[in-house]
Amino acid sequence: MEELKNIIAKASENDTVEVKKFLFGSIEYTTLKCTDSEQSVMAFVEQVNRWDNERPDLPHPATICVYPCFADVVNQTLEVEGVEIACVSGAFPSSQTFPEIKIAETALAIKDGATEIDMVMPVGKFLAGDEEGVMDEIREMKACCGDGVALKVILETGCLKTAENIRKTSFLAMNAGADYIKTSTGKEKVSATPEAAYVMCQCIKEYYEKEGRMVGFKPAGGINSSMDAIIYYTIVKEVLGEQWLNNKMFRLGTSRLAEILISEIG
């Protein structure tokens, strides 16, 4: 991927305070731990409230992302206008349960205040050749969300192994109604990579040129430094263009990055 190498080489040009502030505003501030509790999630949300009060020079994070059972806690604790409430739903992170359970979990999350849903594509079905079954599940989840709740489809690119599989699943998800495509759960050995991001952004561009519908992009998992985030920003900028450089179309699934960016912004 010579073009990707050239794009990554340009990333240093975007290593600026302005870009870092933009990236802070694109963060999906995420806690998905087995130790999460109502109390810990409440404290997590209060951090977003404090940033809004203490750092008026910064945009607010785009989203707070939690398990579905904590949607109401976020809804009751969050004081910052414009921050979305995202829930991972549908047997996250494996996607291995009955479709009826996935729909019920999603409906409950939305009832409790979720404004965005992150689902994991049924990777096993795809690898077994059941592409129609994959699309059916995504369509059902999107129908549950309706027009008012955005659906992000996690491809789990580290399990897909090849660029061709990433390409196929990107189009399957978008054709089935995904509002965003997302790289990873962060729970597998391989999470987001520039190579996967590059393929996915190319697919988003092709889909937009054919269908006229903009689909968002979310890398997640393994974003451990500001330069990691700047590389993804640069891929989006070079492949998709300025239209995608806002916190509606470009998201970063992370929590540790927020404090890193604040320390570097100063």
Positions marked catalytic: 118, 182, 218
For residue 4 the two structure tokens come to 């990707």
Cα angle value 56/59/61 (rounded, 5°) = 125
What's the Cα-to-Cα distance from 37 to each of 19, 32, 192, 254, rounded to whole Å?
34, 10, 27, 19
Give the H or E element holding residue 89.
strand 84-89
Give the H or E element holding residue 256.
helix 256-265
For residue 7 the two structure tokens come to 């794009």
For residue 252 the two structure tokens come to 């970063």
Distance CA 179, CA 222 (A): 23
Distance CA 214, CA 217 (A): 10
User: Which amino acid is located at 202 in the chain?
Assistant: Q
- Residue 109, classed as helix, strand or coil, is helix
Distance CA 210, CA 223 (A): 31
Q: Is the Cβ–Cβ distance between 215 and 178 less than 8 Å?
A: yes
Residue 90: how many CB atoms within 10 A of its CB? 32
